[in-house]
Amino acid sequence: MNNKTFNLDKEQLIKQSLVQMDTHLQGTNYTQAQKLALTCRILFENGHDSGLAGQITARSEKPGTYLTQRLGMGFDEICASNLLLVNEDLEVLQGDGMANPANRFHSWLYRARPDVQCIIHTHAVHTAALSMLEVPLEISHMDNCVLYDDVAFLPKWPGIPVGNEEGEMISKAIGSKRALLLAHHG
């Protein structure tokens, strides 16, 4: 028998699986704006229904710019044609309306993490409830293993996230992790 994987350790098997996924799960022909709009709709269908206290952004092709939803629109209302292209100062470069001022921390995260292509910030009911316990998230169920050892925790939150200090705080707290749980926030 030709058993190539039985002597590999867990880390090697994970790396092998990731390479295979990159090869076989090649995405779609959707534009970045279409992907972002579809993500908003999926979030809405799963109970993330705020466009005010939740934001989503995706890096655009031009450095220092990203796509986001217009302030006042819920995730269920988003389509590719009503997204905004903004710069790091949240100035609208393309589209009508204004970006959510709370998107400021997204600019900080994109600067700190060149590997990040999309940021989703929501206040899902169950996650918000967990955040009120003031303890880091412990992955204790198989359905959440995708986040195993990859969730940072921020124990203190200063309030309305429209200042630069929140961006600095969040980008520092998340470090190299893929997710962040904020105490009393979500």
Tens-place pLDDT, residues 72-84: 999 999 999 999 9
CATH number for the domain spanning 110: value is: 3.40.225.10
Tens-place pLDDT, residues 146-179: 888 888 999 988 777 788 999 999 999 999 999 9
The answer on pLDDT for 144 being more than 80 is no
Nearest one of 107, 67, 101 to 85, comparing CA atoms: 67
Q: What angle do CA 41, 46, 52 make, to 5 degrees?
A: 65
| Per-residue confidence (pLDDT) for residue 61, from 0 to 100 | 92
The secondary structure of 79-94 as a DSSP string is -GGG-EEEETT--EEE
Does the residue 3 lie in any domain? no
Domain count, the chain: 1
Indicate the DSSP class of residue 161: S
Measure the CA–CA gap between 157 and 160, rounded to whole angstroms.
9
177 and 151 in contact (C-beta within 8 Å)? Answer: yes
Better pLDDT: 122 or 141: 122
Does the residue 124 lie in any domain? yes
Nearest one of 72, 73, 66 to 35, comparing CA atoms: 66
For residue 183, with 0-12 CB atoms within 10 Å meaning exposed, 13-18 middle and 19 or more buried, which class applies?
Answer: middle
Nearest one of 58, 65, 62 to 30, comparing CA atoms: 58
CA torsion, points 150, 156, 162, 166, in degrees to nearest 10? -60
116 and 178 in contact (C-beta within 8 Å)? Answer: no
| Per-residue confidence (pLDDT) for residue 1, from 0 to 100 | 63
Does the residue 38 lie in any domain? yes
* SS3 label, residue 153: strand
The answer on pLDDT for 40 being more than 80 is yes
pLDDT range class, residue 52, cuts 50, 70, 90: low
pLDDT range class, residue 135, cuts 50, 70, 90: confident
- Which structural domain, as residue segments, surrounds residue 75? 32-182
Mean pLDDT of 121-126: 82
Beta strands in the chain (DSSP E): 55-59, 65-68, 84-87, 92-94, 118-121, 151-154, 179-182
Does the residue 12 lie in any domain? no
Measure the CA–CA gap between 69 and 80, rounded to whole angstroms.
9
Does the residue 23 lie in any domain? no
Does the residue 24 lie in any domain? no
Measure the CA–CA gap between 39 and 177, rounded to whole angstroms.
21
Does the residue 164 lie in any domain? yes
